[in-house]
Each structure stands twice: as C-alpha cells, then as structure tokens.
Amino acid sequence: MTYKDFDYTITTNGPDETKKLGERLGRLLKEGDIICLHGELGAGKTSFTQGIAKGMDVAKAFITSPTFVIVNEYKGRLALYHIDLYRLNNIAEIEDIGLSEYLKGEAVTVIEWAEKAEGLLSEERLSVYLENSGGDKRSFTFKATGKRYEEIVQGLG
C-alpha cells in the first residue's frame, strides 16, 4: 500500500507559541506514535517537545535540553519518551541505547536530531522540520508518512 505525503507549514513567534503548537499536537497523539524533529541548534525542538508533553498531560518538571541525558521518560495520558540523539555519533551508538525497543512499545516517542537515526526508523512517522526564520520566528513543516500521521496533520491544520 502506498500513502501520499501530507505537508503543513506554520510559523510561531516566540517559545510560548511553539509550546502551544506542541501542545495541540500532544493532544492528538496516540500510543505508538513517532515524532521526528529536525532543525539546527536552538531551532526550538525541545521547546516544542515541552508543549507536546503538556498536551499529553505530563505533570510539570519537564527537564529542558538535558545536557547528558539521551532518553527521558515521562508519564502523562500515555508514556512519552523524549530522545535527543545530538551527542550520539553513529548508528551503532544509537542502536546501543535501544532505540528500536522504545519505538516498538505503546509510548509516544519524540526524537530530536532524528536524521541521525535514518535507517533505524520506520518509514511511517511524523517528521517536523524546524527553521529559524529570524528573531523569534520559527517555521514548522509537518510531513506525514502513512495514514495515521496524515490524520494527525489534518487534525492540526
């Protein structure tokens, strides 16, 4: 079966709007959903993830941009794994953290620097491309692969 891709772009003005956008996405998520975040340092991936956590009813105390922690687990309406691959150097290191085990389960998984795991990820996922558009503007392009993710993007739009 083939699915057509589904794209949606939106710009936020400041971290609060980014969190709100993440929150809207978080409310739409179901078990097993995989969200891949792409964007340079400071693009807003962690801020966006904080919003997702809020939308999933994760109680506060969300750790921002953990310096050494690669995987953080949160409990909200569903379990949420927040994985930051920035410090991992190759596919072997990414396999070693057990990425495929996280993805298999019933949790929602959000991955920063997901391009580093290309090859380990299922084709069906929601990819979000963040770009710094100057000042406090950030553009978010959502690209759905697979019916489930098209549904999510439609829900956002």
Contacts with ligand ATP by CB under 6 A lie at 12-15, 17-18, 39, 41-47, 65, 86, 112, 136, 138
Edge-to-edge strand order for the sheet containing 34-38?
6-13, 137-145, 125-132, 34-38, 108-112, 79-84, 71-75
Q: How far is the CB of 40 from ligand ATP (least distance, A)?
A: 7
Q: DSSP states of 81-141 as a string?
A: EEEE-TT--SHHHHHHTTHHHHHHSSSEEEEETGGGGTTTS-S-EEEEEEEE-STTEEEEE
Q: Candidates 15-23, 27-35, 44-52, 122-130 — which segment interacts with Mg ion by CB under 5 A?
A: 44-52
| Burial class (CB within 10 angstroms; exposed 0-12, middle 13-18, buried 19+) of 45 | buried
Q: Is 19 in the site for Mg ion (CB under 5 A)?
A: no
Q: Is 46 in the site for Mg ion (CB under 5 A)?
A: yes
Q: How far is the CB of 119 from ligand ATP (least distance, A)?
A: 21
Q: Is 132 in the site for Mg ion (CB under 5 A)?
A: no
Q: How far is the CB of 86 from ligand ATP (least distance, A)?
A: 6
| Nearest residue (beta carbon) to ligand ATP | 44
Q: Binding residues for Mg ion, per CB under 5 A?
A: 45-46, 65
